[in-house]
């Protein structure tokens, strides 16, 4: 990655973009079936985060090279959780492994362990109803405290 690309990621508040892509890849693959609809969503999220398909391929091929990072910004943390919930549910089949992994990420992001199940379900329902990251965050904000 060029220095200008790295600088651009930080300017956009996307310093954890590569970590986020690794997390999404793990979410998509945890059920043993990384299908086309999940890959298309991954490419869309990668593009939004300034990650090229070549960089995405490198992350997928060498996940051990990417260190897990928790976004410092609470809005970015929620956006990443939203994307993880979206990846978990995009194929309309939520497996136990996906649910457990999503819960783990939510706790790692600092959300209250006792409220994580509610937070994820509320986020999933908002995604199902075509609500954006920001609209969903506003709707579930009371759960975030």
Q: How far apart are CA 96 and CA 117, in angstroms?
A: 13
C-alpha dist (Å) from residue 138 to 20, 79, 82, 86, 134: 22, 12, 12, 17, 6
What are the tens digits of pLDDT across the range 64-122? 888 899 988 889 999 999 999 999 999 888 989 999 999 999 999 999 999 999 999 99
Q: Which two tokens stand for residue 93?
A: 């089949």
What are the tens digits of pLDDT across the range 24-46? 999 999 988 888 999 999 999 99
Rounded to the nearest 10°, the torsion over CA 112, 113, 114, 120 is: 90
What is the model's pTM?
Answer: 0.86
Q: How far apart are CA 99 and CA 58, in angstroms?
A: 26
Q: Is the dihedral of CA 94, 95, 97, 99 positive or negative?
A: positive
């Amino acid at each position: 990655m060029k220095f200008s690309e790295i600088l651009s990621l930080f300017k956009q508040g996307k310093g954890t973009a590569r970590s986020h892509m690794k997390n999404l890849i793990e979410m998509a693959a945890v059920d043993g079936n990384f299908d086309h609809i999940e890959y298309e969503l991954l490419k869309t999220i990668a593009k939004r985060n300034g990650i090229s398909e070549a960089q995405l391929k490198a992350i997928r091929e060498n996940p051990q090279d990417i260190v897990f990072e928790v976004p410092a910004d609470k809005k970015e943390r929620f956006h990443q959780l939203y994307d993880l919930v979206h990846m978990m549910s995009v194929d309309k089949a939520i497996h136990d492994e996906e649910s457990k992994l999503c819960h783990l990420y939510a706790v790692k992001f600092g959300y209250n362990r006792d409220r994580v199940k509610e937070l994820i379900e509320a986020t999933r329902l908002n995604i199902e109803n075509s609500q954006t990251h920001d609209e969903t965050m506003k709707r579930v904000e009371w759960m975030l405290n």
